[in-house]
A = this chain, B = another copy of it.
Amino acid sequence: MKLFTSIRSQRVTSLGERRLIGRIRGWLGNVCPPAPFGIGDDCAVLPRPGRSLLVTTDPVIAGRHFDAAVPARAVGAKLLKRNLSDIAAMGGTPRTAVVSLALAPATSIGWLRSFYAGLAQCARRHQVKVVGGDITQAPDGFFGAFLTLLGEATAARVITRQGARAGDQLYVTGALGGSRLGHHFTFEPRLREGEWLARRPEIRAMIDLSDGLAKDVRELVPPPLAADLQPDEIPIAADARRWARRTGGSPLEHALRDGEDYELLMVVDGRRPADGLLKNWRQHFPRLPLTRIGRIVRGGSAKFRLGANLLADGGFEHLRPDSARDRSR
């Protein structure tokens, strides 16, 4: 059997990311435990005496996650920050990373030095150690750095994606959309916020927004639940408005679908008054809004609805036949 095929229906792009992940879980069978101990949450949880371990992995690939306009330092920092955001989404503390490089022969030593300078600076800031890695030669024109990050649960529990119930509320940190105007490199992973939230009994489930609210919210609301989002309440970033002016579409659509927000989306227990949570949040994080954007309902087949309108799936798709428009992402 050949690695690559010209028959469209037999290509991974015909499945899309979500279904391909489902297939991989099936192929692995009992080798992959159910989430959060296996595939399916922001990190995998490895139960331990004492505090559970968290594991996550995310790469940066030239032409896919960055282009020539992005400084090498920012690429190195982003590699770590993407993974830090996954640890934040479970309320964990990052500890240890390994980095596997696949490098074309023509890769510049100077560029790589700056890349590592950015990675090291970010690691120092978050007290992460980079303890190992691998270097392999790749075909001409290819650069990929694949980081695996280990962390530890901070609180007695880990916040997973599971736990939402009808009647619960949806909250999000920060503002959404327009990340390509800079936020996708300058974002701060919400580690302190995630750790704090993991200690609050009101929080039932959490995820970091990497593929856009419209897509990621579905991970928190398995059928027959759905998310009933209030369009007027969704915090729209100034860059989403700028980006909408430049590229068309409404600012709200960009807030829903651009992706790479790296904010935290969480499910708050609907039976508990949220006043205490919000008051305490403002004391600890006075500069970062925490906004109620909707609630969990029984939705039948709807993935989520926006005010009166039912919306189809959306957000960033990692595997699509035509990837040209996402090259600079």
Contacts and interface: CB of A to CB of B under 8 A. Distances in A.
This protein's copies in its complex: 2
Contacts of A274: none
Interface string A163-197: 00000000000000000000000000000000000
A130 interface: yes
A32 B137 contact: no
A32 B97 CA distance: 10
Contact of A46 (B15, B38, B131, B133): B131
Contacts of A141: 4, 139
A20 B135 contact: yes
B103 A319 contact: yes
Nearest to A133: B57
B55 A12 contact: no
A273 interface: no
B137 A39 contact: no
A178 to B, nearest CB: 22
Contact of A136 (B33, B43, B61, B135): B61
A55 B96 contact: yes
A37, A141, A148, A318: most-surrounded residue (chain B CB, <10 A): A148
Nearest to A50: B49
